[in-house]
Each structure stands twice: as C-alpha cells, then as structure tokens.
Structure 1
Amino acid sequence: MSDEGSELEISSGKQTVDPIKSFLSGGFGGISCVLVGHPFDLTKTRLQTAAPGTYTGAIDVVRKTVAQDGIRGMYRGITPPILGVTPIFAISFWGYDLGKRLVYSLTPDRTSQTLSIPELAFAGGFSAIPATLVAAPAERVKVLLQVQGQGGSSMYSGPIDVVRKLYAEGGLRSLFRGTIATLARDGPGSAVYFATYELLKKQLSSAPETLPNGEKAPAPPLSLPAIMAAGGTAGVAMWSLAIPPDTIKSRLQSAPHGTYTGFMDCARKLIAADGVTALWKGFGPAMARAFPANAATFVGVELSLKAMEKMW
C-alpha cells in the first residue's frame, strides 16, 4: 500500500493509521506469523534451552521431536501464541502507530509530515513497551510448553495448567518472569523491524504518475511480492539483533525457580558455562523462521487493512 493510500490519514498527510484498524490488522498479522513460524520457533527454543549435547543442531531437533511426538510435536505450545499473539501483535502495531503520533506531538513545527527513519525506529521501539505487558507472560507459558517432553515426561497438561502452577509457585511474579528480557529483545528489535519495513516499502513502491494538471497521482498499491520481501527482510533484520536477549529470555523463563536472580545473572551464568557463543544458540532456526513468518505477518496486516478500508 502506498503512503498516500487508504491506511494513512490523507487529510493531514501524517503517516498514521486509524487506531482500531491498526489494532485489528496487527492481530491478523500475528495469527499469520504464528501459523507459519511456530515449528521454527519451537526448534529455536529447544536448542536454546536443552542441555549441551542433547541435539547436534536444528535438523536433529526436528528429527527427534517428530520421532517422539509426530508432526503434531512441532506445534507443541502453539495455543499460547495463538491466543496471545493476537493481542500482542495488535498492541504492537497499535503501539507503533501511537509512537508515530507521539513523534508528531513532540515536533509540532515540523516542515514535513513524512517521518524520518530514526523517527520510525523510535515509534517501533516504543511499541514494545505496551506489547511486553502481554508478551512476557504469554512467552513464559509458551516456552515451558515447548521445552517439556524432551526427557520423555510432561509436567503440564496445557496452557491453563501452566498458568495455574506458575501462580501457585510464585504468584504474578512467576508468571511475568522474563519481562525485562522480553523488553530487552523487543525494544531494539521492534525499532529495527518497523524502520526496515518502512524503508524497504518506500524503495519497492512504484513512483506515482504525474496527472495532466501536473499533480502527482496516488502511488499504486505495493504488490504482494514486494510486501513479502519487505516484511521478510524486516524480520531477518530484527532477529539478527534479537537472538542474544531471546536466548537469555528462554533460559530465564524455562529454568526452575531460583536458578537465576534476573536477566544479568542468567547472562553471566550462561556465558560462564557455555561461552559467549551460547548467546547465539538457535540462530539458524530463528533466521529460517524470520523471513517466511514476517512476510506472512505483513501480508496479513496489509491485506486486512485493505479489507477494512473497503468495509468502513
């Protein structure tokens, strides 16, 4: 979609979206992301949390998981992200739009309504603040479900059972373990994510035609392959930055109570035990997932925005 298309506030020229539409489109994008990316995410999480020597690599994770649980095993733990990802992505895209509105409010005397890449990055980073409030507990539940069964036994019967046992163990504090790590991953990651997408979206857009009266016609909608290319590349850019804090988050959220005192303690012990390279465990599956999952995300976002514009 073009910057002058229906998803933007044409009357003001600002690069903002109707809040309700940004919220709903983010939800559609999130569901698309999970359906495509969950098997990759499970592989990444198991590599990050398993004891040294458990797996030889990503292919070994897939082979052993399928041998033990069948194809369904690759979708173990999908319920929390499916239920949680709609509000997480919805809040993320809503927060991104809110961040852009904040930029406009802080720069009332600006001469151009076009936001710069640093301003878009700020808005992207800002989006992680409200999204983390939902993402942290959802990630905690998801990680625990993903890592169980590697030794042949399962501690939890499902997401509700995880929540119940975590609350009994340590109340809301236990359920929200890893919140700082989630924000450390998603703050910088979202800044790069949205800025990269907007930059590539602009570069891949066709130049608008000049009308007979000399004015510029609205730019044509971005093609589906272009949306996929921009979204997929944005995902790769984000995860290239986000893997180390994500590894720490996975360890912190899956470890027994009392193993770590916090984010820095987890990082220190992980590096001491396995070296700095341990921070990049799961890099392969994360990169394999990043392009298709995030291409699907932005296709879901853009197509749902287009559909909503036709409806109201």
Structure 2
Amino acid sequence: MHPLDTIKVRLQTMPLPAAGQPPRYKGIVDCTVKTFRAEGLRGFYRGISAPLVGVAPIYAVDFAVYAAGKRLFQTDEQLKLNYTQIFMAGLGSGICSALVAVPTDRIKLLLQTQPLTGPPMYSGMMDTAIKLYRQGGMRSLFKGTCACMLRESPSGVYFVVYEALQDLARRRSPAGNITATSTIFAGGMAGIAFWSLAAPFDLLKSRLQSAPEGTYNQGIRSVFRDLMAREGPKALFRGASPILIRAFPQTAAIFIGVEVANDFLDY
C-alpha cells in the first residue's frame, strides 16, 4: 500500500500555488505521473522503512488492547457484547496504537516530503530519527501525538462495522461460521468506514508533522485555523482518493491476517 501512501501524503502537503499558477499536482494521476518521471519507482517507496518497522507493534497494540477492552465488559467468555461496548473497546485500542504510531509516521512523512533539489536533509530512517532527537528530543519525535490520536478516534466505528458484518455472515451461514470471503468483505468495509471519517484528521496530522519547527505553535489547532483561512473546508479531503482506494485491500488483509493467526493459535 505504500505507493498510494506516498501519493496521499504529497497531495495533502503540497503548497498553495501562486496566483494564476496551477497546483503542483492536479490529482492522484498527475501526482503518480510526476513522481515516476522525477524519481522512478523508487520515489513511491520513500520512507517505507519506518512503517515496516512500526507496523508489527502498532497492530499488535491495536488488537491486544481491543481484546483487553472487550474482556473488561465480559462477565464470562460466552457473553455477547453489544455494539456500544465494541465501540468503546475499539476507541481505546485506537488511542493506544496511535501512541506507538506517532514516531514512525513523523519519520515517514519527512522522508516522503523532503525536497528533491539539493542535498537531502535526511538519508534514511535512522538518520531522520537521530536528527529529530538532536533537534528537540523525544518531543520532536512525538510531534503530532494529539493529531494522531484524533485520526485514530474512529477506531470504534472500525470495529463495530467489522463485527456487525461478521455477525450478519454468521446468521446467513448454515453452520454459523465466518468465511474468508466474509472476513475480506467485513474488513474492507470497516476500512472504508474508518478512513471516510479519519481522512480530514489525517490531512491535519500530515501537515503538522511535515512542517518545519515553529510553523504551527498551537499544534493541530493552528493547522486547522490556517487551512480554513487559506483553503476552506474542501481542503480537508485533499488526498482522500488514494486513502479510499487503499482502504479496502489494506484492512481486508489486516483482518484476514488476524483471523488466520487466531485460528492457528486455537489449533
């Protein structure tokens, strides 16, 4: 999914064009063509090392906290939770996983958006992490924490949609079981529901984390005020197309992995 992530980030963070000038990218196709012409295939994979390192702990925390949250509401293992309880467990999992995701997101964004002209400011994941730490300590590495937590706040909806669609699949199955097809569909639709709500927060987070130090002194509030004043509400959904294109296969793959792992561990 990383090539679509790079396109998404570049659409979200491109500067406003000067009066009478066209934007840097007209849309997802134009961004794809210009990235390939300027950087080749390698350009689509800028910053991939950070999410590769972070993806395992992020989703481990996400699903572990979700499972723990569900157990808080259960008096016994056979008790079926209602969707309000599932929403609360999912909300907690999103907040906790956001805390793990912040530094990898920050490093990824800086590598994806650094200028192509002149010597590179960052040469890789470790170089970026070291320079950020020297620049502002852990605070610099965790810049955008509140924004990342806001982006993950629809996690309750994410799990509710997944569980609701799987419940429907169980009711329609003669044996009362879920299938790989139902998991793919439920996971994909959960991703679309999540990102439809999270896209504006993701844009604000991307702009905050990729901006030079001191640009937004009040964090995400400053980003929001600046965006509303200069570009209007429509800009909140810039980069939404690649987000929604990747949402279905990305989250379908996540839930397939989780269900396969659960079946294996049960076995």
TM-score, with normalisation over the residues of structure 1?
0.79
In the other structure, the counterpart of 2:183 is: 227
In the other structure, the counterpart of 2:100 is: 134
2:142 to 167, 176, 179: 176
In the other structure, the counterpart of 2:207 is: 251
2:29 to 59, 74, 84: 59
Paired with 1:99 and 1:46, the residues of 2 have a C-alpha distance of 36
Residue 162 of structure 1 aligns to which amino acid in structure 2?
T
1:100 aligns with 2:64: no
Residue 37 of structure 2 aligns to which amino acid in structure 1?
A
Displacement over 6 Å in runs of 4+: none
Return closer, same or farther for 1:238/1:152 CA change in 2, 3 Å cut-off.
farther
Deviation (angstroms), 1:206 = 5.1
Paired with 2:101 and 2:118, the residues of 1 have a C-alpha distance of 28
Paired with 1:226 and 1:73, the residues of 2 have a C-alpha distance of 35
Return closer, same or farther for 1:150/1:186 CA change in 2, 3 Å cut-off.
farther
Return closer, same or farther for 1:283/1:152 CA change in 2, 3 Å cut-off.
farther
Paired with 1:78 and 1:94, the residues of 2 have a C-alpha distance of 24
Return closer, same or farther for 1:279/1:208 CA change in 2, 3 Å cut-off.
closer
1:87 aligns with 2:43: no
Residue 200 of structure 1 aligns to which amino acid in structure 2?
L
* Partners of 2:109 and 2:209 within 8 A in 1: yes
Return closer, same or farther for 1:153/1:234 CA change in 2, 3 Å cut-off.
farther
CA deviation digits over 1:256-302, x for unaligned, max 9? Answer: 00000211111111111111111111111111111111111111111
1:193 aligns with 2:158: yes
Paired with 1:234 and 1:173, the residues of 2 have a C-alpha distance of 32
Residue 279 of structure 1 aligns to which amino acid in structure 2?
L
1:69 aligns with 2:39: yes
Deviation (angstroms), 1:152 = 6.7
Return closer, same or farther for 1:59/1:277 CA change in 2, 3 Å cut-off.
same
Deviates more, 1:293-302 or 1:254-263: 293-302
Q: Secondary structure at the match of 1:205?
A: helix
2:245 to 280, 285, 288: 288
Q: Secondary structure at the match of 1:90?
A: helix
Deviation (angstroms), 1:205 = 2.5
Deviation (angstroms), 1:308 = 2.4
Paired with 1:152 and 1:100, the residues of 2 have a C-alpha distance of 52
Residue 167 of structure 2 aligns to which amino acid in structure 1?
K
Paired with 2:206 and 2:172, the residues of 1 have a C-alpha distance of 44
Paired with 1:151 and 1:298, the residues of 2 have a C-alpha distance of 41
1:38 aligns with 2:2: yes
Residue 228 of structure 1 aligns to which amino acid in structure 2?
I
* Partners of 2:99 and 2:149 within 8 A in 1: no
Gaps of 5+ in 2: 17-22
Q: Secondary structure at the match of 2:15?
A: coil
Q: Secondary structure at the match of 2:25?
A: coil
Deviation (angstroms), 1:150 = 5.0
In the other structure, the counterpart of 1:30 is: none
Residue 246 of structure 1 aligns to which amino acid in structure 2?
D
In the other structure, the counterpart of 1:48 is: 12
In the other structure, the counterpart of 1:276 is: 233
Residue 113 of structure 2 aligns to which amino acid in structure 1?
V
Paired with 1:150 and 1:176, the residues of 2 have a C-alpha distance of 25
Gaps of 5+ in 1: 1-36, 210-217
Residue 205 of structure 1 aligns to which amino acid in structure 2?
R
Deviation (angstroms), 1:154 = 2.7
TM-score, with normalisation over the residues of structure 2?
0.92
Paired with 1:103 and 1:152, the residues of 2 have a C-alpha distance of 56
